[in-house]
Amino acid sequence: MLRVEDRDLKILSIRSREGRISKAELAKRVNLSAAPAWERLKRLEEAGIIAGYRADIALKKLAPHVTVFMAAELDRHRAQGFQLFERALSPA
């Protein structure tokens, strides 16, 4: 099991909010020189504690709406079942 120290937790905290922070700035914020900060970051990645990096995409800016096609099967074909299903799918 990997021993996680206070500086490691600080690195994780910063990286979780600012995924694109430079290694030099990250090192500065955790009060380390670049090489030890990079070694800690690499160790956290290799241990699987940092699982990956991704972009937070503003989907509403990409497309104003999305059309979804789906199929559903109800166990009973009664008006009450259809109404319940429609209410469950309606926006709140």
Domain hosting 75: range is 59-89
Provide the token pair at 54.
């991704």
Of 49, 51, 21, which is closest to residue 29 (Cα–Cα)? 21
Q: Looking at the structure, do residues 40 and 63 belong to the same domain, yes or no? A: no
Matching residue, tokens 């309606």: 90
Q: How many domains does the chain fold into?
A: 2
Burial class, 15, CB count within 10 angstroms (exposed 0-12 / middle 13-18 / buried 19+): middle
**What is the distance between the alpha carbons of residues 37 and 65, in angstroms, rounded to a whole number?**
43
Confirm if 34 and 42 have CB atoms less than 8 A apart: no
The pLDDT of residue 29 is 97
| Residue at 39 is within a domain | yes
In CATH, what number is assigned to the domain containing residue 32?
1.10.10.10
The pLDDT of residue 90 is 85
| Residue at 64 is within a domain | yes
| Residue at 53 is within a domain | no
Confirm if 2 and 47 have CB atoms less than 8 A apart: yes
Condensed to tens digits (0 to 9), the pLDDT of residues 25-73 reads: 999 999 999 999 999 999 999 999 999 988 888 878 877 777 778 888 8
The pLDDT of residue 92 is 67
Global confidence as pTM: 0.62
